Amino acid sequence: MTPPPAAGTITIAGKTVSRLGFGTMRLAGPQSWNKLDADRAETTTVLLEAIRVHGMTHIDTADAYGPHTVEDLIHDTLSPYWFDQDVLIATKVGMLRPAPGLWTPHGHPAYLRAAVEGSLRRLGVEQLGLCYLHRNDPAVPFADQVGTLAELQQQGKIVHIGLSKVGPGEIDQAAETITVAAVQNKLNRDLPGDLPTVEHCRALGIPYVAYSPLGGGTLAGYKKAPGALRWLLDLGPHVAVIPGTSNRAHLAQIAASVDNPASA
């Protein structure tokens, strides 16, 4: 049994999970680049404690984290038991990592199909419960990228489809083909520019997942984090946050920085 979730719950991709989730990008080390093996014991403990100690049942990852190594870590750490529980493992496809610090959208249909197969294999599952298009690749028609994920959904390889770093227009366009299960965009108190998308998601009943909610660490201080996370959560019950860390003490600080009210 997991502890009561901090900040209450939200339903995403058919699962009721914690609004305070856990982003796994930092588990791959600086610049999310393949430092996993050197810190394997610590990263494994952080991932386990996120769920078992702090009740974070919304775990967010991507094939680009590492690349690939964080999906392997999640499988090795959490399967098979946690995959059968009320824990959402969300991943993302459509991003290449040519070098540390470089992130290149790649939405060619053949690549997206191969990426989904790779995530299925690394996570050790038959279906991806929630799979985001990591970025809209400007070199490929957006409809083709969304349509490819829709085909994979029809084939039973994806259960729910999400979109990342999109605006209202892209959400509306995608909704012509799929049911948008969640939108994951960058939003924090210092960078509030995506508030129109938050409101658009509210109007459409789509969960909005804020990544980089602590500004990559600039809002993570003891006095800053509570206000930064509460500012996001107070935007509406359809908003979830996925702060990340590779440090157990910092994880505990994040979890303690939000209230644990039944009314959240």
Determine if residue 38 is left, alpha or beta; phi over 0 gives left, psi from -120 to 50 gives alpha, anything else beta: alpha
Residue 65 catalytic? Answer: yes
Q: Give phi and psi for 31, each to the nearest 5.
A: 60, 20
Determine the Cα–Cα distance for residues 96 and 169; give it in Å rounded to an integer. Answer: 24
Determine the Cα–Cα distance for residues 88 and 93; give it in Å rounded to an integer. Answer: 16
Q: What DSSP designation does 33 have?
A: B
Which of 65, 132, 208, 211 is the catalytic position?
65
Going through the chain in order, the beta strands assigned E by DSSP cover 9-12, 15-18, 22-23, 58-60, 88-93, 95-96, 104-105, 128-133, 158-164, 180-186, 208-211, 239-241
Q: Look up residue 34 and give its two tokens.
A: 């393949």
Q: Which residues make Cβ contacts (< 8 Å) with residue 169, sequence separation at least 6?
A: none
Neighbours of 38 (CB within 10 A): 10
Q: Which of 78, 4, 9 is nearest to 238 (CA)?
A: 9
Please report how many Cα atoms fall inside a 13 Å half-sphere around the Cα of residue 11, on the Cβ side. Answer: 2
User: 109-123 and 142-154 are packed helices; what angle lies between their axes, rounded to 10 degrees?
Assistant: 40
Catalytic residues: 65
